[in-house]
Structure 1
Amino acid sequence: MKSGLARAALLGYRVAGIGAYPFVTPYLAYRALKGKEDRQRRLERLGYPSRARPHGPLIWVHAASVGETNAVIPLIRELVRRNIHVLLTTGTVTSASLVQSRLGDEVIHQYVPLDVKFPIKRFIAYWHPDAAITAESEIWPTTLAELTRRNIPQIRVNARLSDRSYDRWQNNPAIAELLFGKLSLVIARSDVDAERFRDLGAWPVIISGNLKGDTDPPPYDPQVLERYRSQVGDRKTWAAICTFDGEEAAAAFVHRALKPRNHQLTIIVPRHPERGDEIETMLKQKGLVVARRSRGDVITPETDIFLGDTIGEMGLYLRMTEISFVGRSLTEDGGQNPLESAMVGCAVLSGPNVQNFRETYQQIIRKGGARMVRDVEMLAKAVHYLMTNDIARRKMIDCGHEAVQDMRGALSTTVKALEPYINPLTVTARLRPASAGA
């Protein structure tokens, strides 16, 4: 009975999507006006291609946003090295810009189609992927069903389930079993995540560790970095990165509290750069002098805040400091990935709400490379301590490097687990190279 109700619920979801389809085009146009969709490429969201499908084996890799995209770049390059074409889909304008800057022509990029029958059918029929690899936590019922109907293997890599998602699925176990059971393989990033996927009906499930531990440090332009370092001079610096609403104000509080003693430069890098105008207005209302990267502003001795409101330059911002507060952890829930900060050479600070990166933080904290702060006052004290205590700061940086090294190895485990799916494609690609024609 429960199985029947679950099937009825999923059928209702698909029917609702079909019913809403006529309204999708104006909805996408509205989002494009707001800057949330690429105006020139929004038809990709309806499954219409903007690129030709190349000849030969092709794997569809989906990474929802910036974090997931960065995580799968080493895996994508391994697939490309094996002569397999990669169709990479993402869901945000920010992640599309990252793909262009980091991967260029190594992949075919498209915006992911909406989880509605007609766009998904159109997308799969055109691209005809040999396998689908997903690096995110969301489950899309229509996409799962259409891939299953065509016998296309569906593999989840670097898989995780947040506390909230797991609780939600546990409240609907019959639906979860129908959906998670369609996955051909789950490669989870932790023991906890693996157990959760098994509980919800996925099989087989293996554990790889976090793919983000095998990524390269974020890139940067050495000339730009040197220019900004010369502008900063001998001033002390700290950065608040991947910030969400409320955390920029917290960074401003820290800056004002410490300025009389340290005359420091505060670097703020919002998770969503399009909030730059809003953040600058708030900072100016507090009497702070702001320089924005997007405008090419010069950092002067009077500059209080350097606002990093650009895409794909985290490597620049992190290399301008040795102290990094990682956001979505103080005024928001979930946390953001601390690995980039630790890789580049920053002592890592974070608020307490890091549920989505719990295991990563545990490993870095255990080594001594990160510290949690419970509120903005404690953040101010921690920033001041690290600014004025070179030995403690260097020790945290070294411990963070050590933690990152210990976390490496997920890529090789993932590739080994994928071999039954990718080895036949590699053989086919080498027997019939892409240059043979369409």
Structure 2
Amino acid sequence: MSKGLARVALAGYRVAGIVLYPLASPYLAYRAYKGKEDRRRRNERFGYPSAPRPRGPLVWVHSASVGETLAMIPLMREFCRREIHVLLTTGTVTSAELVRTRLGDQVIHQYVPIDLKFPIKRFLQYWRPDACITAESEIWPTTVMELARRKIPQIRVNARISDRSFDRWRRYDRIAETLFGQMSLVVAQSDLDAERFRDLGAWPVLVSGNLKGDTDPPPFDADLVERYRQEIGGRRTWAAISTFEGEEKAAAKIHKALKARNGQLTIIVPRHPERADGIEEMLKAQGLVVARRSRNDAITPETDILLGDSMGEMGLYLRLTEVAFVGRSLTGEGGQNPLEPAMVGCAVLSGSRVDNFRDAYANLVRRGGARLVRDTEMLAKAVHYLLSNDVARKKMIDAGQETVQEMRGALSATVKALEPYINPLTVSARLQPRNVAAQ
């Protein structure tokens, strides 16, 4: 593709956005009806603010998902320590709830505006960020070009790019060069990711490691953990966490196959809790007894499945087991973060489709803290082996925790890379009064 054609394609994208803008409202209304948007705050998606812009330096941080938001929390706390205001945007209801419970009023939270000209212009004109820091892999063309037009530094941290995304961008190399070339700095998770970002036109590109390794273990309510442990009693447990469609059915099949030998309790934590009603119907249709966390159901000796359909309680579920299968890896693609269960003290199992977390899994598998399986039958054998072999399970747990400890350090490397951008903001922030609304 020529440079001229790339410019035409990006201009066409912007024009299409303007033409389709009237359809955005009914589209978001439909998403709100499906529970995927917060109807009370829907105007934020059009760039209308719901909070005052504070006086002084402000960094716009965007993280699309729960996992990305968790990874960014230590970095945002570092900004706050330096007295720099943080405007955090997320794209999902679940990530907004996470921000409320983990960060409270430490940051200003807004839903990210849709990538159309009018919402983005409205958003930037109001918030006037001094820098924009985005997590991992999302690229929104209108946002990128509007930031560039205002000469606002665009920095990508914890950056990664999947095989599929890289191949797609390479087919449109001139468009990629135009967009990635607007990045002021890319801080990549690995050498491979760094090489790919350079190939697509980003410069400079540094390597920090994965920020997910520097996150704190997920919080938990000690009283709840103790209550459930008493209800579980001496039963063995295993968990299928961050599951996608099809993986709950696989977990149910494994539970039924192993129940006679292990008498275990199976914990299923779907990635999207709004799917819980359908999952419960599927489980009951197979004759399984289900306790739901959202109903505060008690676990009895007859309970087969604890369905973890609550928000922000992964720390609870992981502390009820020592064996965790991490989803979006058998029937879905890309995988989910294995470092969280590893740091809590779980032997980690996963399907083989883990491209989004390839380095984390490579480290865990190499050290013996995780095992990848091909299919449901192989997963069932791995679960049975770990439930019945205390020595092997403990060895995997220790290896996983040691691996996570070795992977720490990405936060300090990222902060060092960001110093040319955040040090001037730190000085400016300390020269101005805090908590005063801009005029």
2: CA distance, partners of 1:267 / 1:358: 25
1:174 aligns with 2:201: no
Structure 2 equivalent of residue 383 of structure 1:
383
Residue 381 of structure 1: how far off its partner (Å): 0.8
| Identical-residue share of aligned pairs (%) | 74
* Whole-angstrom distance in 2 between the partners of 1:29 and 1:356: 31
The reply on whether 1:319 has 2:319 as its aligned counterpart is: yes
Partner of 1:112: 112
Distance 1:396 1:136 in 2: 28
Aligned partner of 2:344: which letter?
V
Partner Cα separation in structure 2 for residue 12 and residue 19 of structure 1: 10
Cα distance in structure 1, aligned partners of 2:81 and 2:139 = 29
Query: Do 2:53 and 2:437's aligned partners in 1 also have CA atoms closer than 8 Å?
Result: no
Deviation at 1:224, TM superposition (A): 0.8
Cα distance in 2 between the residues matched to 1:61 and 1:11:
26
Q: What is the SS of the residue equivalent to 1:300?
A: coil
Report the AA paired with residue 163 of structure 1.
D
Per-residue deviation, 1:177: 0.3
Partner-residue secondary structure (3-state), 1:302: coil
1:13 aligns with 2:38: no
Residue 241 of structure 1 corresponds to which residue in structure 2? 241
Aligned twin of 1:3? 3
1:89-138 deviation per Cα after TM superposition (whole angstroms, max 9, x unaligned): 00000100000011010000000000000000000000000000000312
CA distance in 1, matches of 2:399, 2:135: 28
Q: Secondary structure at 2:129's aligned position in 1?
A: coil
Q: Does 1:102 align with 2:102?
A: yes
3-state DSSP class of the match of 2:30? helix
What pairs with 1:259-270 in structure 2 (closer than 5 Å)? Answer: 259-270=259-270
SS in 1 for 2:288: coil
**1:217 equivalent in structure 2:** 217
Q: CA deviation at 1:435?
A: 4.5
Given the two structures, how large is their TM-score scaled by the length of structure 2?
0.99
Matched, 1:23 2:23: yes
Q: CA deviation at 1:331?
A: 1.1
Residue equivalent to 2:88: 88
DSSP-derived class of the 2:291 partner: strand
Matched, 1:335 2:335: yes
Which deviations, in whole Å up to 9, do the C-alpha atoms of 1:175-227 show, x marking residues without a partner?
00000000000000001100000000000000000000000001111011111
CA-to-aligned-CA distance 1:59-103 (integer Å, 9 cap, x gap): 000000101000000000000000000000000001000000110
Distance 1:24 1:373 in 2: 42
The CA distance in 2 between the partners of 1:376 and 1:44, in whole Å, is: 42
RMSD between superposed Cα atoms in Å = 0.8
What is the letter of the counterpart of residue 198 of structure 1?
R
Match of 2:280 in 1: 280
- Cα offsets for 1:295-331 (capped at 9, x unmatched): 1111110000000011111100000000000011111
Q: Which runs of 5+ in 1 are unaligned?
A: none
- Name the amino acid aligned to 1:175: I
Q: Residue 433 of structure 1: CA displacement? A: 2.5
Q: Name the amino acid aligned to 1:154.
A: Q
Q: Specify the alignment match of 2:54 in structure 1.
A: 54
Matched with 1:295 is 295
Structure 1 counterpart SS, 2:245: coil
Q: Distance in 2 between matches of 1:125 and 1:192?
A: 37
Q: What does 1:190-229 align with in structure 2 at a 5 Å threshold?
A: 190-229=190-229
CA apart distance, 1:437? 5.9
Cα distance change on mapping 1:65 and 1:436 into 2, 3 Å: closer
1:433 match: 433
Alpha-carbon distance in 1 for matches of 2:311, 2:420? 36
> Which AA in structure 1 matches 2:415?
V
Separation (CA, whole Å) in 2 of partners of 1:234 and 1:427:
57
1:167 partner letter: D
Partner amino acid for 1:173?
Answer: D
Shift of 1:31: 1.1
Deviations 1:13-62 (A, max 9, x none): 00000000111111111111111100100000000000001111000000
The structural deviation recorded for 1:436 is: 5.9
Q: Following TM superposition, where does structure 1 have runs of at least 4 consecutive aligned residues deviating by more than 4 angstroms? A: none
**Using the alignment, how far apart are the partners of 1:30 and 1:326 within structure 2?**
31
Contact 2:299 2:306 (C-alpha < 8 Å) held by counterparts:
yes
Which residue matches 2:408? 408
Q: d(CA) in 2 for partners of 1:437 and 1:145?
A: 28
Q: TM-score, normalised by structure 1?
A: 0.99
Q: Give the SS at the match of 1:218.
A: coil
SS of aligned partner of 2:71: helix
- Aligned AA for 2:48? Y
User: Does the Cα contact within 8 Å between 2:52 and 2:437 map onto a contact in 1?
Assistant: no
Residue 35 of structure 1 is matched in structure 2 by 35
Q: Secondary structure at the match of 1:434?
A: coil
Residue deviations 1:229-271, cap 9 Å, x none? 1111110000000000100000001100000011100000001
Match in the other structure for 2:353: 353
The structural deviation recorded for 1:434 is 1.2
Partner of 1:392: 392
Report how many aligned residue pairs link the two structures: 438
Q: Take 1:436 and 1:52, find their aligned partners in 2: how far apart are those partners?
A: 9
Letter in 2 for 1:427: V
The answer for the alignment partner of 1:77 in structure 2 is 77
Aligned AA for 1:329? S
Please name the residue that 1:253 is paired with. 253
Displacement, 1:426?
0.4
**1:359-415: CA deviations, max 9, x gaps?**
110001111100111111111111111111111100000000000011000000000
* Code of the aligned partner of 2:186: V
Give secondary structure in 1 for the equivalent of 2:249: helix
